[in-house]
Amino acid sequence: MSVTSTHRGTHPVEALQVSRLAVVIVRAGVLPVGAAEAVAEAGNRVLLVGSGTQAAAGELGAARTWHAETVGAAPAGLAAAMAPLVRDVRMLVLPASPDGRDFAPRLAAELDRPLLAWATQATVDDEGTTASLSRLDGRLEVDVRCDQPCVVTLVPGARNPLPPSNGEVFEVVLDVAHGVDAERLAVLEPDPETMDLAEAARVVGGGAGLVRDDADAPEAFALLRAVAARLGATTGATRVITDAGWMRHDRQIGTTGVSISPDLYIAFGVAGASQHTGGLGNPKHVVSVNTDPSCPMTAMADLGLVTDARALLDELADRLGVTP
């Protein structure tokens, strides 16, 4: 393994002797959900691995970035190659994205250290790591203390990212061995209906205004899912809906649920309580369907349709030719 600098001035490999470091897997220059937050939790230092890492480094703008092109590297081989570089880092933070959740236990096993999964915050000092771990779909938070080096996965949306800076960037060359490992047969695009809500480019959300009465709720949300699938979107809901059991808690959008920043968010019958809108990071386009023209959701929308949400959903389903 060798290290060369892509920044003015040199920096030896000992630069990775830091107390905390984010590890982020990049695909074709695209950062996963929660990457910037993991970097912030790790003190604005990050190691990027995967493909297109140099472009991703520019987008992140961390204070100090190491990046390694490891196109096609299998997880176990990548973990083995990375271990000497990060072995002395006390806390490694990965975003709890699909790649992060897959790679974190492999890295923890290679380094023979504990994994603190699904954390909402984590801090490290000379004596160990303190973390809060989310459990039961966010309804329970467990505080833990680990007195040895550890690997942490951070819940997307758990904290605010830091503003980009013009930091140092260094290239790392990892020698990844091709040994016994899982063989990647193909990479399939996620099913919009079941994909992680935080990673969806299109989200169709439902609130209490979509439901005429309790008996109507199952049909209403089955229709919402069918329409979303036809639009290539995934479904979300407000806390009122998930607390009522009409959608799963992993579909809840908000400060106590999942934070999203899709290209398009269509809100059916969502009034826009602060808990819900607090989970809308920076969507590019918002459409609100609500009978109240003054509700917060309509006020923040690019397009506000002042009409009955269920009636419009029925009409949209009819025009798209979908049934629940």
Q: What is the pLDDT of residue 153?
A: 96
Q: What is the pLDDT of residue 200?
A: 87
Residue 2, pLDDT above cutoff 50: no
Q: What is the pLDDT of residue 135?
A: 86
Rounded Cα gap, residues 247 and 149, in angstroms:
38
pLDDT tens figures, 190-238: 787 778 888 888 999 999 999 988 888 999 999 999 999 999 999 999 9
DSSP E strands in 91-137: the ranges are 91-95, 115-125, 128-135
Residue 3, pLDDT above cutoff 60: no
Paired residues of 98 in beta bridges: none
Confidence bin at 261 (pLDDT 50/70/90): confident
As a whole number, the mean pLDDT across the chain is 88
Percent helix, strand and coil across the chain, each to the nearest 5 = 30, 30, 40
Q: Which of 132-141, 151-160, 258-267 has the lowest mean pLDDT?
A: 132-141
This prediction's pTM: 0.72
Rounded Cα gap, residues 206 and 238, in angstroms:
7
Rounded Cα gap, residues 117 and 132, in angstroms:
10
Domains in the chain with CATH codes: 2-173 (3.40.50.620), 197-320 (3.40.50.1220)
pLDDT tens figures, 139-186: 788 999 999 999 999 988 778 888 888 889 999 888 888 766 777 787
Q: What is the pLDDT of residue 11?
A: 41
